[in-house]
Amino acid sequence: MSSTSASTQEDAQDTCVICLSSVTERAITVPCNHYTFDFVCLVSWLHERSTCPLCKTQVTAVQYNWTSPTDFHTYVVPRTRLPSDVTASRTDRPASLFAPYGLPRRPQGPRRPYSPPVQDVALRRRRHVYRKKFYSLHIGSNPISGYRDISPQIFANTPQLQSKARTWIRRELRVFTFLHANPAPSSSSSDAAATTSSNAEFLLAYIVSILKMVDVKASHGHAENLLTGFLGRDASRLFLHELNAWLTSPYTKLSEWDQNVQYEEALDP
């Protein structure tokens, strides 16, 4: 049996000590190395308090997204916490709220010549959606429309759906400028790029883990609550609505979805 298969089987047998359900995405605390946690549950816990749920040790990092004993991602626990009742729907929250501490600094190299940014029309339209709080129109699931309902169980067991989700999430997170801002004026361009990648990739993994555990359409709003501390209440609600519209759609390319998704008002060209 491969190490990946063994890890998956072990995850299924373990119970998360926070939610008391089977572990679907294992996370390990650093430095105490406790491992009976779901990634979403542990990060949500650390968002409120920075100590291990089992031994109360100060947690400095979380290891997750394991593909082998030596291949995994590490999330450095931020020094600054967001309040649990954040309700603002802003796309310009300071990057310092996400910036991990302990990021190594590299020597300041020669600056590259300034190049004007290339305008991304699709991204501009997505920012317009959040600015105007447009919700895409619902399309029923049926053989004619090609739309289909998706449960957390279906998502967790379908790698193609997970890949489809990552494609959309990776672009959509570019809407939120605070994820991509320079964390500190003194940081080098390399430091800023590393922090930007860490912020976005962490949220990408976090959202995919939520989709494996929680129905984003459920009336209790649990998925929205899990995401609110990072994106704000209004933005989280809209983000999850649009993500569900993409996942349930028959489209596999972002350009196709962009051309066919409908709103009550036309988007700016």
What are 192-242's pLDDT values in tens digits? Answer: 444 445 677 888 999 999 999 889 888 788 999 999 988 999 999 999 999
CA 257 to chain centre: 20
Greater model confidence, 10 or 125: 125
What pLDDT sits at residue 113? 57
**Stretch 80-97: mean pLDDT, rounded?**
41
Which has the closest alpha carbon to 243: 153, 161, 154, 179?
Answer: 161
Q: For residues 191 and 184, give the distance between their C-alpha atoms in angstroms, rounded to a whole number.
A: 9
pLDDT at 47 over 90: no
* Residue boundaries of the structural domains of the chain: 3-76, 95-106+120-260
Q: What is the pTM of this model?
A: 0.69
Q: For residues 226 and 44, give the distance between their C-alpha atoms in angstroms, rounded to a whole number.
A: 7
What pLDDT sits at residue 85? 38
- Residues sharing a CB contact under 8 Å with residue 206, sequence separation 6 or more, in sequence order: 39, 40, 43, 230
- Using one digit for the tens of pLDDT, what is the confidence trace for 112-154? 554 554 558 899 999 999 999 999 998 888 888 889 999 999 9
Confidence band (pLDDT; 50, 70, 90) for 34?
very high
What pLDDT sits at residue 262? 92
Q: Residues 30, 36, 40, CA angle at the centre, nearest 5°? A: 80
Average pLDDT value for the chain: 78
The answer to whether residues 165 and 208 touch, using CB atoms and an 8 Å cutoff, is yes
Handedness of CA 4, 6, 10, 12 (dihedral sign): positive
Architecture in CATH of 3-76? 2-Layer Sandwich (3.30)
Question: Left if phi > 0, otherwise alpha if psi is -120 to 50, otherwise beta: which for 233?
Answer: alpha
**Stretch 98-114: mean pLDDT, rounded?**
44
